[in-house]
Structure 1
Amino acid sequence: MEERTYYSLTPSQQSIFLSRKYSMHKSIVNIPTSLVVKEALDLDVLEDAVRKGIKRWDSFGIRLVKDKEPKQYFTTREAECIERLNFTGKSRDTMEKTFLKLGSRKLEIYDAPMARFFIVRTPEGYGGIFSVINHLIMDSWAISMFYKDCMEIYYAMKNGTSMPKDVRPYEEVLKKEVMYRQTEQYQKSLEYWKREFSCGEPIFTHINGSEVLEKYRKKKGNEHARYAGAFYLRSTSGHDLHWIHKEDIEKMNRFLEENRFPSLQVMFQMGLRTYLAKVNSHEEDVSTYNVVARRGTLEEKMTGGTRVHFAHFRTIMPKETKFIDGCRMLFDKQNELYRHADFSPMEMFDLEKSLLPCKPGQSYRSASMTFQPVPMSVGNGPEIESRWYSNGAVSQPFYLTIMDGDGTGGLKCYYEYMSNVIPKERIKDVHRYMTKVMLEGAKNPDITLEELYKMY
C-alpha cells in the first residue's frame, strides 16, 4: 500500500468544487484548450512528449476522496485517456465543433485522473494538442506552462538536444497554502477586508445597464436596494472571442511607457469599468471581481495546480476624473489588493455578508476580469495557435479573460457570459467601447470620464 498524505482543498479549489457541486452542468469545472503548431509534427513523438510531460507535472497525480469534507492526495501521474484525432480531409468547423463537444463532457473528480488528452492532426496538416483539464488540478496559467513544457520536450527529442529543466512540484506550494491561516499575513488580510466592507455599501452595476438593478428593486419592493440577484440556477453559456490587434496594442504600450505603468492590465480595467459606469447611469461607484492568478514567485510560476482567487475590486470615480488619474487610482488599488489576494474568496464572501445587507444569492458585482497574457513560444519559434473553448456551462454573468495573441503582438479577449441574460450584441458593444476608451485615453490622457461617456 502506498503511503498517502491527505490535504484539505485550498480556498481556490473550494470555490471550484462548490461551483461544480451546485451547478446543473458538471462540466463547469472543465478547461478545454488547444495548442496547434503550424508544422507537420510527428504525432508519435508528440504523444510521447505529452506522456513524458504528464509524468513531470505532479498536478496530474492529484486525486480527490469523497468524504464529508473532500480531501486530496498525490499518487501516480496520469490522464484519463490520450487519444488521436485526425481531421485530414475535414473542415476547421468540424474540428472546432468536435472540441466543443468534447469540452462539455464531464470529468469524474473522485479517485480518478482529472484530465483527457487528444493528439491532433488539423485539416491543414498541422500537429497539436487538445485537452480537457479539471480546474481543480490546474488553472489557465498552469495549462499554458504545461503545453510549453510538452513542446520543449518534443523538440528536444526530435533534435537530440537536452530536455527542459524539471518542473517545480505543486505539492510544495500546496503545503504552504493550506497553512496560510496560521500566518501573520492572514491576520493582516482579515483586517484589510474588514475595512474594505466597512467603508460604505457598494452598488450593483450590471453589464446590461441600470435597468437590472431597477427591476430587482421593484421585484423585492425595496427602492433603496444597492445589491441585486446575480446567480441563476438555469443558465446557458456564451463564449465569444474578440481581438485587439498589434497596432492598437502598440499605441496603448506607448501610453504605458510614458506614464510608467508596468502592464496593460490597468487600461483594460479602466475600459471595462468605464463601460459599466456609462451604462449604469454614469455611476461613480463601480465594483467588479479582479481575478488574481497569484503566480508571483518563480516557484509559483513554474508549478501546476490552481491558484486563482476572485477579489472584490471597488473604485469610486466622479465624472470629472481624467483617464490618467483613473488609471493611477486603479493601479494603486490593484497593488493594495494584491498584497491581500491570498485571503480565501469564500471567507471574503462570508465577511461581506456579515458586514453588509447583501445576502447569499445577491451581489454588488456582475463582471469579472483576469489579465493573463502568458506568452506561448515553442521550439525554434514556429507559428502557433492556441484556443480556450466553452465547457458548455457558466457560473457568473460576465467574465472577461485577456490572453496572449500567439506571437502576433495582439491580445485575445475571451468573453464568457450567461447568454440567456446577456445577448451576443451586448458583448460586441462592450468590446468595441472598451477598446475605444483605451485608445482615446492613450491618445489624450487628460480626457475625462464625462467626455468618454459621450462617445458611442
Structure 2
Amino acid sequence: MEDRTYYPLTPSQYTIFLSRKYSMHKSIINIPTSLIIREEMDMDILEDAVRQAIERWDSFGLRLVKDKESPKQYFTDRKVESIERLDFTGKSRETMERTFSKLAVKKLEIYEAPMARFYILKTPEGYGGIFSVINHLIMDSWAISMFYKDCIEIYYARKNGTAFPKDVVPYENVLKKEVMYRQSPQYQKALEYWQTEFSREEPMFTHINGSEVIEKFRKKKGNENARFAGSFYLRSTSGHDLYWISKEEIDTLSRFLEEYRFPSLQVLFQMGLRTYLAKVNDHEKDVSMHNIVARRGTLEEKSTGGTRAHVVAFRTIMPPETTFAKGCQMLFDKQNELYRHADFSPMEMFKVEKSLLPANQAQSYRACSLTFQPVPMEIGIGPEIETRWYSNGAVAQPFYLTVMDGDGTGGLKCYYEYMSNVISKERIKDVHRYMTKVMLEGARHPELTLEELYQLY
C-alpha cells in the first residue's frame, strides 16, 4: 500500500459531512454548476483541458475513509467519477436545463471514491461549455470558480499555442495549516470571543415569513416569552429561484459605497435583507442571521481548492431611528469584528451557543443565511461567459441567499434556495423586491431611518 498521510476533516468539511449524514437527500452536498462560453469550441481540446485541469487541482485526489464518528481523508490520484459528453444540437435550452436539473440531484459517493463528475457540452446555439457536479467536501463555490477559470485558460493556451496558466496552489498545504488552528493562540481568542458574544442578552428569532412563525411556536410550547423557535424540518422540499440586480442598479449602489468608503456591496445586501427581516417581524430591532464566510483572505487561500466556507452567527441591534447610512456602518463594523474569529469551528460555535442560551438542539435564533461571493469569471479578451448554479434537490436551512457575479454584465445574480414547503415563491419574490428597493432608496437617501424604510412597498 502506498504511504498515506491521513488528515481529520476540517471544521468546514465536518459541518458539510453532518448535513449529508442527517439529511434524507444525500445530494444535499452536491454543487451543480454550468459554465458556457459563447462561441463554438473544439470539444476534444476542451475535454483535454478539463482533464489537465483536474490533474492540477489536488482536491480531486481527496478520498474519505470511515473512522468512528468522523471520517479521515488522504490525498491520492486526481480523478473524477466520470467525464461524459452532452450534445444539445437541435434541441432547446429548456431541454438542456431540464437535463442539468436531473443530473444535479444524483448523489455522489463519499467513501474511497472520486467526488465529482463532469460533462463536456455543446449548447443548442453551438456554444461549448462544462456542466459539473462537485462534492462540497472537496470544493466550495470559490474553488469551483477558480477551477473553471483554469479549465478555460488551459483551453485557449492549447488552442492558441500560448503559455499555460501558472501552477495551482496545493490544497494540502492550506489544509495542514487549518488542522493546526486549534493549537494556535487565535483559537483561544476566538473561543473567548464567542463565549462573550453568546453571553449577552438572549437574541430574538427572526424568520423570513415574519412574526407569525415565533408566535405559532410560542403558542405550541405554552411559552409566550420564547425568543427562539423551531426552524428545521426532517422532511422538506427544495425551492431554487434566480433574480438579478441590474448594472444600472449596481451603479447607483456603487456611488453610495464610494461616498461612504465601504469596500464592498456586501454591506448593502446585509442591510437590505436585515431590514426585510425587521419589517416582517413587527419592526424588530434585534435581528440575527447567518453569514457564510469564504475565508479566503490570503493569496494562497484564494488560489487553492478545498472547501473553506464557515457559518458565522451575525446579530445586530438597531433602533427604528437608525439611519440607513448608520445601519450600514454598524453592519460593516460587526462584520469586521466577526470575521477576525471566523476560522473558529461552526460546530464548536453552535456548542458554545447552546451551552449559554436557552434554545435546545432543535431550536434556533436564526433562519436565514447570506453568502456574498461575486467571484468574476474573467478570461481576458475571451468571449462572453454564462454561469449558473443549480438546485441539488435538497435544502439544509429555511432560507439561503447567495449573491454571485453577473457574468460580465455589470449586474449581480441572487440565488434563493429555500424550503418550499415552508416558504412560498411569492415570499421570495417579495423579499427580492423589497431588499432591492431598500438598497436603492437607502443609497439615494442615506438619512432615511429604518422606520421610514419599513414604510416602503
Q: Secondary structure at the match of 1:51?
A: helix
State the distance in 1 between where 2:72 and 2:78 align.
Answer: 17
- In structure 2, distance between residues paired with 1:361 and 1:72: 30
Q: Could you tell me how far apart the structure 1 residues matched to 2:165 and 2:239 are?
A: 38
1:67 is displaced (CA, Å) by 1.9
What is the alpha-carbon distance in structure 1 between the residues aligned to residue 378 and residue 142 of structure 2? 14
Structure 2 length-normalised TM:
0.99
How much does 1:361 deviate?
1.2
Query: Aligned runs of 1:44-55 on 2, under 5 Å?
Result: 44-55=44-55
Structure 2 stretches of 5 or more lacking a match? none
Alignment map for 1:233-252 (pairs within 5 Å): 233-252=234-253
Letter in 1 for 2:32: P
Q: Which residue of 2 aligns with 1:20?
A: 20
- The one-letter code of the counterpart of 1:54 is I
One-letter amino acid matched to 1:244:
I
3-state SS of paired residue (2:118): strand
Equivalent residue letter for 2:254: N
Counterpart of 2:339 in structure 1 is: 338
1:367 and 2:368 equivalent? yes
Match of 2:393 in 1: 392
Maintained 8 Å contact 1:152/1:379: no
8 Å CA contact 1:151–1:379 kept in 2: the answer is: no
Query: 1:30 aligns to what?
Result: 30
The answer (yes or no) to whether the contact 1:13–1:306 under 8 Å persists in 2 is: yes
- Structure 2 CA distance, aligned partners of 1:196 and 1:239? 33
1:230 Cα deviation from its structure 2 partner: 1.1
Displaced runs of 4+ in structure 1, greater than 3 A?
Answer: none
Counterpart in the other structure of 2:159: 158
Superposed displacement of residue 379, structure 1: 5.2
Residues 182-239 of structure 1 show CA distances to partners (whole Å, capped at 9, x for unaligned) of 0000000000000100111001000000000000001111111100001100000000
Aligned letter for 2:428?
Answer: I
Contact 1:193 1:348 in 2 (8 A): yes
Task: Show the 5 A alignment for 1:238-277.
Answer: 238-277=239-278
- Secondary structure of 2:291's aligned partner: strand
For residues 259-298 of structure 1, the aligned pairs below 5 Å read 259-298=260-299
Aligned to 1:99: 100
SS for the counterpart of 2:111 is coil
Give the distance between the partners of 2:197 and 2:99, measured in 1 at CA.
45
1:378 is displaced (CA, Å) by 2.1
What code does the residue aligned with 1:400 have? L
Establish whether residue 119 from structure 1 lines up as the match of residue 153 from structure 2.
no
- In 2, the alpha carbon distance for the partners of 1:190 and 1:377 equals 39
2: distance between equivalents of 1:136 and 1:435?
Answer: 33
Amino acid at match of 1:62: L
Aligned partner of 1:318 in structure 2 is 319
Distance in structure 2 (CA, Å) of the matches to 1:421 and 1:428: 15
Q: Distance in 2 between matches of 1:205 and 1:176?
A: 36
Matches within 5 A, 1:424-443: 424-443=425-444
**SS of match in other structure, 1:229:** coil
Any idea what the Cα deviations from partners look like across 1:348-378, whole Å, max 9, x if unmatched?
Answer: 0000000000110110000000100000012
In structure 1, distance between residues paired with 2:268 and 2:100: 32
Residue number in structure 2 paired with 1:197: 198
Shift of the alpha carbon at 1:381?
2.6
User: For this pair of structures, how many residues does the alignment match?
Assistant: 456
Separation in structure 2 between the aligned mates of residue 5 and residue 379 of structure 1, nearest angstrom: 39
Distance 1:395 1:344 in 2: 18
Distance 2:143 2:202 in 1: 36
Gaps of 5+ in 1: none
Counterparts of 1:74-89 in structure 2, within 5 Å, are 74-89=75-90
Aligned partners of 1:197 and 1:356 also within 8 Å? yes
Aligned mates of 2:345, 2:359 — CA distance in 1: 19
Q: Output the CA distance in 2 between the equivalents of 1:43 and 1:415.
A: 33
Correspondence for 1:4: 4
Q: Give, in angstroms, the shift of residue 410 of structure 1.
A: 0.1
Structure 1: how far apart are the matches of 2:88 and 2:239? Answer: 25
How many angstroms apart in 1 are the aligned matches of 2:382 and 2:402?
A: 25
**1:132 and 2:139 correspond:** no
Task: Quote the Cα distance in structure 2 between the aligned partners of 1:233 and 1:402.
Answer: 27
Measured in 1, the distance between the counterparts of 2:175 and 2:226 equals 40
User: Contact between 1:155 and 1:379, CA under 8 Å: does it hold in 2?
Assistant: no
User: In 2, distance between residues paired with 1:337 and 1:381?
Assistant: 38
Equivalent residues in 2 for 1:159-174 (5 A)? 159-174=160-175
CA contact (8 A) 1:104 1:392 kept: yes
Matches of 1:279 and 1:381, distance apart in 2: 45
Q: Equivalent residue of 2:292, what SS?
A: strand
State how far apart, in whole Å, the 1-side matches of 2:228 and 2:61 are. Answer: 42
Write out per-residue CA displacement over residues 412-431 of structure 1, whole angstroms, 9 at most, x where no aligned residue. 00000000000000000000
Conserved? CA contact 1:138–1:305, under 8 Å: yes
> Structure 2: which amino acid aligns with 1:406?
D
Distance (Å, rounded) in 2 between the aligned partners of 1:9 and 1:298 = 23
- Following superposition, the deviation at residue 2 of structure 1 comes to 1.2
SS in 2 for 1:363: coil
Shift of 1:380: 2.5
Whether the 8 Å CA contact 1:237–1:393 is kept in 2: the answer is: yes
Measure, in 2, the Cα distance between the counterparts of 1:115 and 1:2. 23
Q: Matched residues in 1 for 2:182 and 2:359: separation?
A: 26
Which SS does the other structure have where 2:210 is aligned?
Answer: coil
Equivalent residue, structure 1, for 2:412:
411
1:39 and 2:13 are equivalent in the alignment: no
SS in 1 for 2:242: strand
- For 1:149, the equivalent position in structure 2 comes to 150
Residue 447 of structure 1, CA deviation: 0.3
CA displacement at 1:160 relative to structure 2: 0.1
Question: In 1, distance between residues paired with 2:374 and 2:41?
Answer: 25
Q: Deviations over 1:237-285 (max 9, x none)?
A: 0000000000000000000001100000000000000000000000000
One-letter code aligned to 2:99: T
Q: Please give the root-mean-square deviation of Cα atoms over the aligned residues, in Å.
A: 0.5
Aligned partners of 1:354 and 1:125: how far apart in 2? Answer: 57
For 2:333 and 2:381, how far apart are their aligned partners in 1? Answer: 39
Q: Distance in 1 between matches of 2:185 and 2:152?
A: 41
* Whole-angstrom distance in 2 between the partners of 1:272 and 1:361: 24
